[in-house]
Amino acid sequence: MLHKLVTAPINLVVKIGEKVQEEADKQLYDLPTIQQKLIQLQMMFELGEIPEEAFQEKEDELLMRYEIAKRREIEQWEELTKKEMRNPRWENYCIYTV
């Protein structure tokens, strides 16, 4: 009982930290958000609002984030597929006979 009282605040801080990290990753590596920022960046450059050097620097950063996000998405799909192969939902594979 005492152990739970002592560790509860620490566990809460850890859980909050995990949530903050999760949200930060979601914002940094959200594919539609990155695509929108790339479009906005391109428009700003074409309208002469930012110099080419700043455009290249920001574009490189966004493309790197896009690549990481895409890799994460593929890894998630692969993991999901592995889980499905290990535990198939047989109701999805019903064969009906007449």
Q: What is the pLDDT of residue 92?
A: 58
Closest among 86, 67, 55 to 29, alpha carbons compared: 67
Contacts of 3 (CB under 8 A, 6+ apart): none
Q: What is the pLDDT of residue 24?
A: 82
- Average pLDDT by stretches of 10, the chain with 98 residues: 74 87 83 95 98 98 96 91 74 57
Contacts of 55 (CB under 8 A, 6+ apart): 41, 44, 45
Rounded-to-integer distance, Cα 48 and Cα 29, Å: 27
Q: What is the pLDDT of residue 14?
A: 86
Q: What is the pLDDT of residue 60?
A: 98
Which helix (H) or strand (E) covers residue 72, if one does? Answer: helix 52-86
